[in-house]
Amino acid sequence: MRSESWEINPVMLLRKNVVEDIYHKASYYEVKYHKTTPTIGIALENFNNDGNPYRLQLARQEDITFCHNRLAGLFQNVAIPFFEKYDRLDELDKEVNIISRKSLFSGLKYEGNLGIILAKLVDNPNYYKLEEKYREYYQQFSNGFYLSEYEGVVKILKSI
């Protein structure tokens, strides 16, 4: 049965053109999508990871005010500090290429392509270790399907 309401799942997306421009020189994305990809993104519920509900239900006219107020509060208290922190490439590099725990930003793009681009842009001293780590990741992930994209990114980074 189809729901009679909309579920709103707040997500924070941040795009750094310098990163995305490098990535898309080697990416598998069609050109029409190159300007729409975020550099990082995470749902508020995953970012806060505190067991509190962050999804909202919008079913009736009366729900609009509550949803608006809740989203405005989340934007002020969570999203703005998030954007302020991760606006800097060095902060992104610290989080994406973190060694002591799993990064907040994990997944196909973050595990290698984004990490190696950030490492290069901020002169991360572990660049070559990360390059090999991510190469091994892509060799194993999906039977190496994304490895050539990663190698393309690495090749572009060598010219920077």
Domain ranges of the chain: 6-158
Question: What pLDDT does 100 receive?
Answer: 83
Q: What is the pLDDT of residues 65-85, one digit of tens each?
A: 999 999 999 999 999 999 999
Question: What pLDDT does 10 receive?
Answer: 98
Both tokens of 117, joined, read 């681009």
Question: What pLDDT does 3 receive?
Answer: 75
Q: What is the pLDDT of residues 80-112, one digit of tens each?
A: 999 999 999 999 999 999 988 888 887 766 679
Question: What pLDDT does 1 receive?
Answer: 57
| Cα of 80 vs its chain's centroid, Å | 16
Q: Going along the chain, which residue ranges are E strands? A: 6-8, 11-14, 40-43, 56-58
Task: Look up the pTM and report it.
Answer: 0.89
Cα–Cα distance measured from residue 59 to residue 45, given in angstroms and rounded to the nearest whole number: 21
Helix pair angle (127-140, 147-158), 10° resolution: 160
CB atoms closer than 10 angstroms to residue 117: 28
